[in-house]
Structure 1
Amino acid sequence: MHERPWAWPLLVTLITLLSLGLRLHYVVHAQVLQPVYDQQHVRADGVEYYAYARNLVQHRTFSMAPESGAPPAADSFRDPGYPVFLAAWMATWPDWDPWYAAVLLSQAVLGGLTVPLGMMLARRWMPLPWLAAAGTLMALWPHSIAINSFILSESLVGFQTVAGLVWRGRALDAGRRTAAMGGTAVLAMAGMSNAVLMPAAAVAALWVAACRRINRQTALALLVFPFLLCAAWQARNALLVTSSRPPDGH
């Protein structure tokens, strides 16, 4: 069946509006408990992410230590990507209310844009009716709507992963190696928020090379940013471990 030229742009526009509208409406009206203040008695991912962001802004230290009179000790329990995202908003709006609103609204936007990006990724192999069904399901999926109202990394990581794949795929299709490196950098940034994804950028580059879609030089170029980000973070952690060791004989 012949696809009308206006059908795909119209479909993406409608699904994007639906996806963004639902997520923004939810985060504006939902009341979600975020127990970030009671850090002595509550243990949750959101509490730790908030502590990292606060210590980054107030002490320039990556640490999940609770507030105290002493400078926090640096650690590496969490990956740095999402705390840096939170800290960027906190540096702009230090007070809780505007910071919290900025985080939730930005996560809703990221979550909403992940849906059309996912459709763009699937357009390679799915016909338009199936894309419409998949896009509608992604836009309406309850968990992907509700997750944006929590101080958790899923919204950021999901957006970066899908955006990086779409960016890299389109750049490779156009034969633009430098642009494809940008897409791989976005994938690597997703890995900096969830270390499980860090090998994904490298595996994806090697897989495309194995399928003979790119040559060896392009595959190596795509590995630059994942390697640099991972190496820099691991070097920081190695220095942290070395500096925390007691002197010999103690």
Structure 2
Amino acid sequence: MEQIINAKNLTLGYEGEKNPVIKNASFSINKNDFIVITGKSGSGKSTLLKSFYGGIGILNGELDVCFTNLKNINNRNLKELRQKIGIVFQDYKLVNDWTIEKNVMLPLEIDSQSKTICKKRSEHFLKYVKLGHKIGKYPLELSGGEQQRVAVARAIVHEPNLLLCDEPTGNLDEVSSNMVWDFLRAARDSWGTCVVVVTHRAPSTLKFNFRHFEIKERKVVERF
């Protein structure tokens, strides 16, 4: 099966720290996988996720993401890689001075798509996350759950190969959380997007198969 992420003896950490956060991790993630990565606070979940989009450098080992080697990657190749990736953050990271429509357009504008395509796809994906009726609203006019749905729309509007989610339901109530999980699953099922979610705990309510990785004692271990 085609691998979209492949790590060999991957070691990650931050300058000034004596001990690496992740040490000698080896694992692979396939193109159509839905991955849930769990671990205690401070275990390195977000650090590992950052490494997948080049947000943190590699101390040792190898990491290939979307068929790109991230070790000593240059800025041009990093930009090309990120155009294949969508990211959903716990705190949404929306631009509050922009309408939600313009927020969702951002990945398409970065990819130099025409204004017509940007507008059409933004409208389509806001309707997809059930916010088409609020297209002219600004983020702070929405609830937290609605803002996260905008963030999901922005992350999938360009139908990425890889969708990375950092605690996407950490601030949401149960109803909003379930909606977000449904949208993430649909991204995998509809477009074959590989979805990787880091969270404190894998929800017991998920009604679909996923692979479960746990970060424990700086290792990345698959749980069966």
How does the TM-score come out when normalised to structure 1? 0.27
Q: Specify which structure has the higher proportion of helix.
A: 1
Give the strand-richer structure, 1 or 2: 2
Q: Larger relative CO (CA 8 A, sep 6+): 1 or 2?
A: 2
TM-score w.r.t. the length of structure 2 is 0.30
Structure showing greater radius of gyration is: 1
